A and B are shown apart, each in its own frame.
Chain A
Amino acid sequence: DMKVTQMPRYLIKRMGENVLLECGQDMSHETMYWYRQDPGLGLQLIYISYDVDSNSEGDIPKGYRVSRKKREHFSLILDSAKTNQTSVYFCASSPRGNSGNTLYFGEGSRLIVV
């Protein structure tokens, strides 16, 4: 069953608290992504991971870090959350990058920072 699972789906945190968003996939995909989606904007890439411990910054990495210790699991960490990090975060995976292969998305994690 090809699936990308995100936990938690909804989260409210106070400014300055740490946030851990988790993502798992059951397809043994090498490449995984973290995006954020804000109203009126296209998805913005935060980090990309090409495989275990092979991570690269995306377009908006500031304030975020990631961890990938197993191929099927990719975490997004916010150390000291800020109100402007309120957003919907999407994890995605792809078998060999994005060429001709479809991209599988999770259902999103809605984070509110107050």
Chain B
Amino acid sequence: KTQVEQSPQSLVVRQGENCVLQCNYSVTPDNHLRWFKQDTGKGLVSLTVLVDQKDKTSNGRYSATLDKDAKHSTLHITATLLDDTATYICVVGDRGSALGRLHFGAGTQLIVIP
């Protein structure tokens, strides 16, 4: 059973627009949540990690929120660029150690058009 659900599955926005990606999960316990960016044919690159019960992070034009009570996270991308075209993957870690497991969402494919 999929424990990390991402929506939308795909999204097309115009350059300069803002967008919001959603991640809902059922993983228990939920120690932390990461967002990764995966360019086509490339590996995953970490954008941010959220740890607290209600957490917010910011990394340039990327900002993220986590609400562990709702088991929900969002990734906001402001003023999108063509280079933001990629798949964005939400990952939930069930422990804070190597003994834990990482649960991967299938990703949201973002396409930024001129």
A22 contacts partner chain B, Cβ-Cβ < 8 Å? no
Measured between beta carbons, the chain B residues less than 8 angstroms from A4 are 43
Measured between beta carbons, the chain A residues less than 8 angstroms from B34 are 102-103
Main secondary structure on B side of the interface with A: loop
List residues of chain B with CB under 8 Å of any chain A CB.
Answer: 2, 4, 31-32, 34, 36, 41-46, 49, 51, 89, 93, 95-107
Q: How far in angstroms is the closest Cβ of chain B from A26?
A: 15
Q: Given known contacts A42-B89, A108-B41, what 6 new A-B pairs fall within 8 Å (CB)?
A: A42-B4, A42-B107, A43-B104, A99-B32, A99-B100, A105-B43
A96 contacts partner chain B, Cβ-Cβ < 8 Å? yes
How many A-B contacts if CB must be within 8 Å? Answer: 73
List residues of chain A with CB under 8 Å of any chain B CB.
Answer: 4, 30-31, 35, 40-45, 48, 50, 59, 90, 92, 94, 96-100, 102-103, 105-108
Identity of the chain A residue whose Cβ is nearest the Cβ of B2 in the assembled complex: A42
Measured between beta carbons, the chain A residues less than 8 angstroms from B104 are 35, 42-44
Q: In whole angstroms, how far apart are the Cα atoms of A98 and B91 in the complex? A: 11
Whether A107 contacts B43 by the Cβ 8 Å rule is: yes
Measured between beta carbons, the chain B residues less than 8 angstroms from A42 are 2, 4, 89, 103-107
Identity of the chain A residue whose Cβ is nearest the Cβ of B95 in the assembled complex: A99
Identity of the chain A residue whose Cβ is nearest the Cβ of B98 in the assembled complex: A97
Whether A94 contacts B49 by the Cβ 8 Å rule is: no
Query: Within the complex, which residue of A96, A99, A107 is in contact with B93, where a contact is CB–CB below 8 Å?
Result: A99
Q: In whole angstroms, how far apart are the Cα atoms of A101 and B11 in the complex? A: 29
Whether B106 contacts A31 by the Cβ 8 Å rule is: no
Query: Within the complex, which residue of A41, A100, A102 is in contact with B106, where a contact is CB–CB below 8 Å?
Result: A41
Whether B43 contacts A98 by the Cβ 8 Å rule is: no
Measured between beta carbons, the chain A residues less than 8 angstroms from B32 are 98-100
Measured between beta carbons, the chain A residues less than 8 angstroms from B98 are 30-31, 48, 50, 94, 96-98
Measured between beta carbons, the chain A residues less than 8 angstroms from B105 are 42
Query: Within the complex, which residue of A31, A92, A100 is in contact with B96, where a contact is CB–CB below 8 Å?
Result: A100
Q: In whole angstroms, how far apart are the Cα atoms of A100 and B103 in the complex? A: 15
Query: Within the complex, which residue of A41, A90, A99, A102 is in contact with B46, where a contact is CB–CB below 8 Å?
Result: A102
